[in-house]
Chain A
Amino acid sequence: DSGVTQTPKHLITATGQRVTLRCSPRSGDLSVYWYQQSLDQGLQFLIQYYNGEERAKGNILERFSAQQFPDLHSELNLSSLELGDSALYFCASSTSPTDTDTQYFGPGTRLTVL
């Protein structure tokens, strides 16, 4: 158990819908990262937040957005969902924004878009 929690564990929705994935980092970790993992694309870095502020951006689509709240939990919002958005979404945390080398991953949310 990494100490990072993610909810929900599974999510099934339809195309065109919007969903919110939630992540709580390890106690004391200020940095949160979001990743998408699909069979054909592998593990893709989406976005990083540190202490409420966006720190780095990866291959995140415009239909996706994220934020980190004052209590340090983070939410990833996915809208206008497409079949291709079906994937595992992982959240990870680290102590500082520069500790990108050591990240602790949550168990993931499996999103299925029908």
Chain B
Amino acid sequence: GQSLEQPSEVTAVEGAIVQINCTYQTSGFYGLSWYQQHDGGAPTFLSYNALDGLEETGRFSSFLSRSDSYGYLLLQELQMKDSASYFCAALMNRDDKIIFGKGTRLHILP
């Protein structure tokens, strides 16, 4: 079947760096997106990788390796407001469905 695996929870300290991994098993993979969702809120788009390598957007970066079916989201200079759930999502063949991982809950300690 098609699935994305990511850790259920990650804990880090304010000001530190944290990496959230995502491995996928899909056919017709096109690209990997990342979304942030605060409790009670809607998902918001963070980053997208269609090609191998690193994409940087401010404190957030995302990486993709197609050969390893693996990607990660890197959050730097962690702030308390970064406490949220983070989802990776695989795009299939650009005009097909989207599959989300179950999400990683990020806890940040002061």
A-binding residues in B (CB < 8 A): 31, 33, 41-45, 48, 50, 87, 89, 91, 94-103
In-complex Cβ contact of B97 among A56, A97, A102 (8 A): A56
Q: How far is the CA of A44 from the CA of B100 in the complex (A)?
A: 7
Query: Is A108 in contact with chain B by the CB < 8 A criterion?
Result: yes
Query: Is A105 in contact with chain B by the CB < 8 A criterion?
Result: yes
Contacts A43-B87, A105-B44 known; 5 new A-B pairs at CB < 8 A: A42-B87, A45-B98, A90-B42, A92-B43, A103-B45
State which residues 94-112 of A face B: CB under 8 Å: 97-98, 100-108
Query: Is A58 in contact with chain B by the CB < 8 A criterion?
Result: yes
B-binding residues in A (CB < 8 A): 2, 33, 42-45, 48, 55-58, 90, 92, 97-98, 100-108
Interface secondary structure of A, over-half rule? strand
Q: How far is the CA of A44 from the CA of B103 in the complex (A)?
A: 12
Q: How far is the CA of A55 from the CA of B97 in the complex (A)?
A: 9
- How many Å from the CB of A91 to the closest CB on chain B? 9
Q: How far is the CA of A34 from the CA of B72 in the complex (A)?
A: 25
Contacts of A2 in B (CB 8 A): 42, 44
Residue among B42, B94, B96 with the highest chain A CB neighbour number at 10 A: B42
In-complex Cβ contact of A101 among B41, B42, B50, B102 (8 A): B50
Name the CB-closest residue of B to A90: B42
- How many Å from the CB of A43 to the closest CB on chain B? 4
In-complex Cβ contact of B94 among A42, A58, A90, A100 (8 A): A100
Counting from the closest, the 7 A-B pairs by CB-CB distance are A105-B42, A101-B48, A42-B102, A43-B100, A58-B97, A45-B98, A105-B43
